[in-house]
A and B are shown apart, each in its own frame.
Chain A
Amino acid sequence: MSWHRKLLRVNLSAGTCTHEALNMEWAEAYIGQRGLGTKYLSEEVDPKVDPLSAANKLIIATGPLTGTAASTGGRWSAITKGPLTGAIACSNSGGQFGGELKNAGYDMLIIEGRAPTPVYLHLEDQQATLMPADHLWGQRIWDVEAAIKEYHDDPLMRIASIGPAGEYGNRFACIVNDLHRAAGRSGVGAVMGSKNLKAIAVRGTIGTRVNDPKAFMAAARKATEALANSKPRKGLSRHGTISMMDITNTFGSLPTNNNRAVQFAGAEKMGAAAMQSPNEHGHTNLITNSACFACTIGCGRMSHIDPQHFSVRDEPRYQTASGGLEYETAYALGSAVGVDDMDAATYAGFLCNDYGMDPISLGGSIAAAMELFDVGAIDETTTGGIKLEFGSAEALCQITEMIGKGEGFGKDIGMGSKLLCEKYGRPELSMSVKGQEFAAYDGRAMQGMGLAYATSNRGACHLRASPYAHDFGTTEPDEKPQVVKESQDFIAAIDSTGLCLFSKNVGLELEHYTAQVQAACGGTWDVERFTTIGERIWNMEKRFNLAAGLGHGDDTLPRRILEEPAPSGAAKGLVNRLDVMLPEYYKLRGWDENGVPTAATLGRLRLA
C-alpha cells in the first residue's frame, strides 16, 4: 500500500524496459525516495565507478507519500554517483513530475548502461518505450518539453529533461522538470547526458492507494491545518525563500564576493521587498507565487524580467514568465558574484532552467572565476575578452550563457570551482566541500552550518542539516554537533517519504510525518523508528563514500572559512571552529576518530 511495489529497470545499452518487484524488506528499512534509492545504488554500483561511465546508474525514486493527498506529497529524487564530487549524489525536486510518475504506477526507475544514440523514455502508465531523440539532442529544455508534448499530443504530460549542459558533461548540470523545477545538485544531469538519455516523459492515471484511507485523510488533514495556521508558512507563501536575504545579511552570514565578505551592500535590491516593488520603469519582477504537486505552502515564485532590461531587450524568448529567484539563486547570482541587479540574476536563473544547470554551483564557480580574475590568475585572454569582475551584471549574463553552451572559458567554469581553481593554480579559492559549492550561508557566523557543510555526504549543502535556529541564537560551537547530527537523521527520513522538507521548516513535527506514513503504508511507525531509519540512511551514504575513496580529509572547509576571520556581523573576528566540533560530531555518530562508522554502530543500525 502506498508503495506500488514496482520499479522499472531501463537498460539503455540493450534498449529494454523491464518491470520488477520492489524489494519490500528494503522498503520497510529505508522507506523510499532518498533512502531506498540509495540502498539500490549501493547494492548495484561499485563506489569506485567513473560517474560518467556506462557502469554508473541513475535512479529516479519517489516516496510512499508521493502522489497522495498529503500536503507537499510531490517530491522525487535523482540518485547516482555524482561527477562534481565523486560521492553519493541525491538530488531532490518538486514540481508535478514526481506525482505523475508515482501515479503511473512506479516507485522507482533504475536507468543503466548507455544508449548507442540519444533517446527519451516515454511512460504512459505501465507502458514504457524508448523513443529516438536525435532531433532533440542539442536543444534547450523549454524546446524539448514543447516538442515532446506536441509529438504525443498531450499538454499535461510531465517531463524531466537535460539541456546542452548535461549533454557536454558540465559537472553541475541538473535535471529540470516542469520547465523551472530541478534535481539540482552534484551533476546528476551530466550522468543522464552520459547515458544519451535526453528526457523522461510520463503520463500517469493509475493513482496511488493508501492502506487506511480514513486514518490517512485524518492525518493529512491535521498536517495541512498545522501548515495553514503557521506564521512562518504564511511568510514563505507571501514572500518566498528570498525573504532569507534580509536575515542573513543582517546577521552577517550572507556569502559575498566568493565569501570574501559576509554582508552585501546590494542586499536590499535582491530581497523580497525589491521583488514585489515596481522599478524605475514601473515594472515589478514578481507576478505571483506557485506550488508543487499537492503543496499547500506555495513558496515558488513566478517572475518576468523588465523588457527594457539589457539581458532580454533582444531576447524575446526570455521576456516570458517563468520560475523566479529563490534565496539560493538570489545569493548565487547576486551577492556571491557581487551583483545587485535582480533582473540580471533572474535572467541567469532562466538560463539555468533552459540549459540545465544548478544555479548554486554555477554562481559559486563564477564567483571563484571572478576572484581568479581579480588576483590576476586569469585575464581577458583567458576569458575571451570578458571582464569577469565582481559586480558586473553584464559579465554574469554573458558568461552564464557560455557555460550553458560549453563555449570557450565557459567550458572551464563548467568543470566546477574546485577543478577550475586547481587548473589556474589557486585551489584555495574554491568555496566548496568535496567539490560541491557552498550554499547561501557563511560558516563563520553560522557555525553549525559550517559543520553541516563539512560533514554532508553529498558535499556542501544547506538541506542536509537544520542548524538555522541554533546558529541564529549563538555563535558558540558547543551544542552544534548534537543539533547537526539529529537534524541530519530526521531530514534523511523526511527526504525518503515523498514530502517536502520545507513542511518541517515551517512547523510540522515528526509525529505529523509518522502518522501519515503509518496510515499510508501500514505497520507501526513512531518517531524512534523514523529517526533510526534516517540514521541508517546517513551511515549507508557514508559507507558508500568511504568505499569511493573519500575520507576524514574530505570532512573539512576551505582555508578562508577556517583561517580568515569574518570581517563584520555576528562573526566579526571569528573563524569556523571545525577543530572543536568535528571530533565531537564523530563521537556522537558512533564513528572513530577518522570518521569511520564502528562495527558496533553498523550492527546497531543493521548495516553490518
Chain B
Amino acid sequence: MELSVKLIGHLLDDVTPADATFDGRHFVIADRATPRDLAAAIGLPADAEYFVMVNGDHVAENVLDTHELQAGDEVVLCPPLKGG
C-alpha cells in the first residue's frame, strides 16, 4: 500500500533508506504495516524517538506497534523535542 509520509525536524537527517524507495514524501509498504514497521522500513534507527500523527490524529505511544495503517494514510513522524 502507498502512504504519504512526512518526517519533521532531525528525523529527516536520520533516515538512511536501505533500498532508496523513500522519496521524502511517498512510501510503499506491506498491507497492515504499523507505524513501527514504517519507521524501520524507511530506515530510522531502532533507538529513534518520535511520535506519530495519522490523518491528523495522534497515535498513542503504547499502540505504535499494533495500530494498522491504511492505504492513503497521511503519516507524520515527529521528534518529541523538549522545549525552551
With a CB–CB cut-off of 8 A, which chain A residues contact B10? 231-232, 234-235, 239, 243
Tell me the minimal C-beta distance from B39 to chain A in angstroms: 15
Cβ of B61 < 8 Å from any Cβ of A?
yes
Cβ of B49 < 8 Å from any Cβ of A?
yes
Tell me the minimal C-beta distance from B1 to chain A in angstroms: 22
Tell me the minimal C-beta distance from B52 to chain A in angstroms: 10
In whole angstroms, how far apart are the Cα atoms of A506 and B8 in the complex? 17
Do B84 and A505 touch across chains, with their CB atoms under 8 A apart?
yes
With a CB–CB cut-off of 8 A, which chain B residues contact A440? 83
* Interface set, chain B 19-49, CB cutoff 8 A to A: 49
How many chain B residues sit at the interface, stated as a range, is 20 to 34
B76 CB contact (under 8 Å) in A250, A326, A445, A568: A250
- Considering the complex, give the chain B residue whose CB is closest to the CB of A243: B9
Cβ of A44 < 8 Å from any Cβ of B?
no
B57 CB contact (under 8 Å) in A234, A469, A501, A570: A570
* Interface set, chain A 234-269, CB cutoff 8 A to B: 234-235, 239, 241, 243-244, 246-247, 250-252
Tell me the minimal C-beta distance from B41 to chain A in angstroms: 20
- Encode A478-503 as 1/0 by CB contact (under 8 A) with B: 00000000000000000000000110
Cβ of A463 < 8 Å from any Cβ of B?
yes
Tell me the minimal C-beta distance from A363 to chain B in angstroms: 16
Do B56 and A569 touch across chains, with their CB atoms under 8 A apart?
yes
Do B84 and A502 touch across chains, with their CB atoms under 8 A apart?
yes
- Considering the complex, give the chain B residue whose CB is closest to the CB of A263: B56
- Encode A157-201 as 1/0 by CB contact (under 8 A) with B: 000000000000000000000000000000000000000000000
Cβ of A299 < 8 Å from any Cβ of B?
yes
* Interface set, chain A 554-593, CB cutoff 8 A to B: 568-570, 572
With a CB–CB cut-off of 8 A, which chain B residues contact A239? 9-10
With a CB–CB cut-off of 8 A, which chain A residues contact B60? 473-476
B83 CB contact (under 8 Å) in A327, A475, A568: A327
Interface-centre pick from A232, A234, A252, A572 (highest chain B CB count, 10 A): A232
In whole angstroms, how far apart are the Cα atoms of A590 and B51 in the complex? 33
How many chain A residues sit at the interface, stated as a range, is 35 or more
In whole angstroms, how far apart are the Cα atoms of A418 and B77 in the complex? 37
Do B80 and A246 touch across chains, with their CB atoms under 8 A apart?
no
- Encode A325-345 as 1/0 by CB contact (under 8 A) with B: 011100000000000000000
In whole angstroms, how far apart are the Cα atoms of A152 and B82 in the complex? 41
* Interface set, chain A 256-304, CB cutoff 8 A to B: 272, 299
Cβ of A373 < 8 Å from any Cβ of B?
no
A327 CB contact (under 8 Å) in B14, B62, B78, B84: B84
With a CB–CB cut-off of 8 A, which chain B residues contact A299? 84
Do B51 and A328 touch across chains, with their CB atoms under 8 A apart?
no
Tell me the minimal C-beta distance from A269 to chain B in angstroms: 16
- Considering the complex, give the chain A residue whose CB is closest to the CB of B59: A570
- Encode A451-473 as 1/0 by CB contact (under 8 A) with B: 00000000000110010110011
With a CB–CB cut-off of 8 A, which chain B residues contact A568? 56
Tell me the minimal C-beta distance from A75 to chain B in angstroms: 13
- Encode B55-84 as 1/0 by CB contact (under 8 A) with A: 011101110000000000000101111111
Given contacts A246-B9, A247-B9, contact A505 B82 (CB under 8 A): yes
With a CB–CB cut-off of 8 A, which chain A residues contact B78? 246-247, 250-251, 472
With a CB–CB cut-off of 8 A, which chain A residues contact B83? 241, 244, 327, 439-441, 462, 468, 505
- Considering the complex, give the chain A residue whose CB is closest to the CB of B63: A474
Given contacts A235-B9, A243-B9, contact A468 B61 (CB under 8 A): no
Do A232 and B81 touch across chains, with their CB atoms under 8 A apart?
yes
A235 CB contact (under 8 Å) in B61, B76, B79: B79
Do B8 and A246 touch across chains, with their CB atoms under 8 A apart?
yes
Interface-centre pick from B61, B76, B79 (highest chain A CB count, 10 A): B79
Given contacts A474-B61, A474-B62, A570-B58, contact A241 B9 (CB under 8 A): no
List 14 interface pairs A-B (beta carbons < 8 Å), by A numbering: A232-B10, A234-B10, A235-B9, A235-B13, A235-B81, A246-B8, A251-B58, A440-B83, A462-B83, A469-B49, A472-B80, A474-B61, A501-B84, A569-B53
Additional 8 contacts, C-beta under 8 A, given A462-B84, A476-B60 = A231-B10, A232-B81, A235-B13, A244-B81, A272-B9, A468-B80, A475-B58, A569-B56
Closest 6 CB pairs of A and B: A570-B58, A473-B61, A505-B82, A472-B80, A235-B10, A472-B51
